[in-house]
Amino acid sequence: MIYFNNQLMPNDTSTKLFMVTNTKPFERYEDHEAALYIQLHQLVEHAFAKGENPIALIEDYLELVYTEGKSVGEIADFLANTDKMQLALWTLKESWDKLDETAPQDSLLYGSGMGKEEAIQLYSEITLRTYLEALAQHKNE
């Protein structure tokens, strides 16, 4: 199931950054954060499989110099610890702290303005490149 919550992901940028798959809705920030780390690893792995250079993408989009190793885990860990990603995670944590848990379950899954098919379509379009584009544009809101 795709986990989308319009309270946690109020715009396209945050949706691209924080929408993940999970077997059930998250009940707390830490579980959502763990799923995001898994997703980062998967995005790096898929970029390699498509013949892309994840290190070059990270350097280009985030304007950083990459100094770590070449494994999927090392690249994903580097990305997870960048200032941009930490700011994004902080924003997500703040949103979790303000979450209205009385909202209907459907809104927690797909959001008030996005249907199931649209959420699936958007999720299917997320690649390391589109993720980094969103991360580069993210601002603490």
As a residue count, the chain comes to 141
Cα 104 from Cα 124, distance rounded (Å): 25
Q: Where are the alpha helices (DSSP H) in the chain?
A: 12-18, 29-49, 54-62, 72-80, 83-97, 105-110, 116-124, 128-137
pTM of the entire predicted model: 0.87
Class of residue 134 by CB neighbours under 10 A (exposed 0-12, middle 13-18, buried 19+): buried
Per-residue pLDDT at 113:
59
Domain extent for 32:
2-137
Q: Tens-digit pLDDT profile for the chain (141 aa)?
A: 888 888 888 888 888 999 998 888 888 999 999 999 999 999 999 999 999 999 999 999 999 999 889 999 999 999 999 999 999 999 999 999 998 777 655 554 544 456 667 777 888 999 999 999 999 998 755
Between the alpha carbon of residue 15 and those of residues 2, 36, 39, 65, 92, the distances in Å are 11, 12, 14, 27, 11
In the chain, the number of structural domains is 1
Centroid of chain to Cα 40: 8
Per-residue pLDDT at 103:
65
Between the alpha carbon of residue 117 and those of residues 80, 110, 120, 128, the distances in Å are 29, 9, 5, 22
**Within a 10 A sphere around the Cβ of 98, how many other Cβ atoms?**
8
